[in-house]
Structure 1
C-alpha cells in the first residue's frame, strides 16, 4: 500500500530550445510551481522527468502544433523556460 500525495494541477508552458509544450503539471499540494521546478530529486522522478498531461507540443520556429498527447514526460534538463500558463501570455 503506497502513500497518496495530494497534488495541485497547474496549467503550464514549458520551453525547450526547439519546442513549446503546453499542458498540465501536478505539484505536491502547497508547493509553488517555481519550488517544484527547482526541487531536489525527492520531489521529481528518478531521472528528473516531469510528467505533463493533456499536452500540446508546438514548434518554436514555425509556431505550429506538432502533436497532442494525453501524457508526456519532459526531461527537466532540457527546459529553458517554465511558467504557469496564466503568467506566460500564451
Structure 2
C-alpha cells in the first residue's frame, strides 16, 4: 500500500545556509517525527538555498540534507 505524502513548507537552517523548500511527510506525521527517524538524509523538494544573510545561491527540484547538519527547522509561515 502506497502512502500519499503531503509537502510541508519548511525553512531549514544549517551552520552555513538557509534552505526554503518542502518536506514530504505522511498526513499524520510532524516535522519532529521526520527529524527523529534513523535516516541520515532529509529530502527537501523545491529547495532554494541561501546564505545566512539572505543571498540566493541556487535552487534544485530535490536536495538531500544531512540530518546532522540541521540547526533549526520551522514550518514556513509559523509564527
Question: What TM-score, normalized to structure 2?
Answer: 0.89
| Unpaired stretches in structure 2, ≥5 consecutive residues | none
SS in 2 for 1:86: coil
Cα RMSD over matched residues? 1.4
Structure of larger gyration radius: 1
In the TM superposition, residue 69 of structure 1 has moved relative to its aligned partner by 1.0
Which residue in 2 is equivalent to 1:26? Answer: 24
| Unpaired stretches in structure 1, ≥5 consecutive residues | none
Moved over 4 A (4+): none
Question: Number of residue pairs matched?
Answer: 79
Which residue in 2 is equivalent to 1:66? Answer: 57
Question: What TM-score, normalized to structure 1?
Answer: 0.79
